[in-house]
Amino acid sequence: MHIRIGTRGSKLALWQANYVADLLQKGGATTELVMVETKGDKILNKALSKIGSKGVFTEELEEHLRQKEVDIAVHSAKDVQSTLPDDLELIAFSEREEVHDVLISFNTDARLDTFNSSYIIGTSSTRRVAQLKHYYPKIRTADVRGNLQTRMKKLEKGNYDALILAYAGVHRMGFSKYIVEDLSPNKFIPAVGQGCVAIEAAKDLNNDKVAMIRQCVNDKKTEQCLRAERSFLKTLEGGCSIPVFGLARIKKNQIELKGGIISLNGQDLVKQQAKGVLDDGVSIGKQLAERILQDGGEEILSEIKANL
Ligand SMILES: NCc1[nH]cc(CCC(=O)O)c1CC(=O)O
């Protein structure tokens, strides 16, 4: 069986595509990578939240799926919009990497607790900015776009004192030695999907191919967690530009989902958790989102939408 894999061309995207290709080859398939540039790769002078929340890193790949130029598209699950077009679906989720955010700096003494107001942290994520402002109101932030290598270069040039990044990308790109602090995933609750690689396909992709891909790539527990997180995000209508966070974990054979929303200035935070049986992820996610909207999330969300 031959599987054509669509991917972005950044080093992280290629690492992830090769990781999936290896898994498929171990299962006996042959593979080929097709590189596709997305809006998110081309537009580098704007914050992601200003480019638009939907499909910044996925749209062009999705067009290739529709045109049958590729069988699957490999994405960071975090970059996949919560509502997919009707003709496409996520068919597999790779075993999740550690989910937390990390502080990256060439100053080995740098820690969030000891940062003073003269330090600047580079991050373009509205979630990370809001969480920083909430827990460390004195810390200043500045936008930083571009792939991980570009961000590391900007850090090296001294544009920032530190960066906040997802552990997963840092680890995959071999930058772990610059981690000066692992941020607690209970405080800096990650973005939905962080640390997982997701496979998107057209709904009419050949059934045998779908079965093969799931067999080789899908991790059941990760899928159960991701379905819960994505349902949560979908109900909150949060695109990647809205500071929504959500993390599901399996504990004692139950899904435990923590999630919430935070105002852009970090002042208002609504955070809750929900639990349920493993296959109920979608309804657990939806219920948690509804509770959060009722408990003040609705106001935070409409204020954010008015400001973006
Ligand atoms: N939005 C960019 C993005 N998308 C996925 C990752 C890292 C890998 C992952 O979380 O799976 C990153 C970089 C970052 O947030 O530091």
The fold of 101-182 is D-Maltodextrin-Binding Protein; domain 2 (3.40.190)
More confident residue, 139 or 42: 139
Measured distance CA(242)–CA(229) in Å, rounded: 15
pLDDT tens digits along 268-297: 999 999 999 999 999 999 999 999 999 999
Question: Which pairing describes strands 72-76 and 120-122: parallel, antiparallel, or unpaired?
Answer: unpaired
Measured distance CA(42)–CA(19) in Å, rounded: 24
Q: One fold for both 101-182 and 219-308?
A: no
Is 87's pLDDT higher than 70? yes
pLDDT band at 52 (very low <50, low <70, confident <90, very high): low
SS3 261: strand
Please state the domain extents for the chain: 1-94+196-218, 101-182, 219-308
Gap from CA of 91 to ligand 1 centroid (Å)? 20
**CATH 3.40.190.10 applies to domain 1-94+196-218:** yes
pLDDT tens digits along 175-234: 999 999 999 999 999 999 999 999 999 999 999 999 999 999 999 999 999 999 999 999
Gap from CA of 202 to ligand 1 centroid (Å)? 24
pLDDT at 77: 97
pLDDT at 241: 75
Is 157's pLDDT higher than 70? yes
Kindly report whether the global pTM for this prediction surpasses the value 0.95: no
ipTM metric: 0.94
Reading phi first (left if > 0) and then psi (alpha if -120 to 50, else beta), residue 105 is in beta
Q: Ligand 1 pocket check: which of 194, 240, 241 to mutate, most ligand atoms within 8 Å of Cβ?
A: 194
pLDDT tens digits along 97-151: 999 999 999 999 999 998 877 889 999 899 999 999 999 998 999 999 889 999 9
CATH class, domain 219-308, is alpha beta
Gap from CA of 194 to ligand 1 centroid (Å)? 7
Does 168 sit in the ligand 1 pocket, CB within 6 Å? yes
Q: Which long-range contacts (C-beta less than 8 Å, at least 24 apart) are formed by 149-152?
A: 149/11, 149/173, 150/44, 151/122, 152/104, 152/178
Contact 244, 267 (CB under 8 A): no
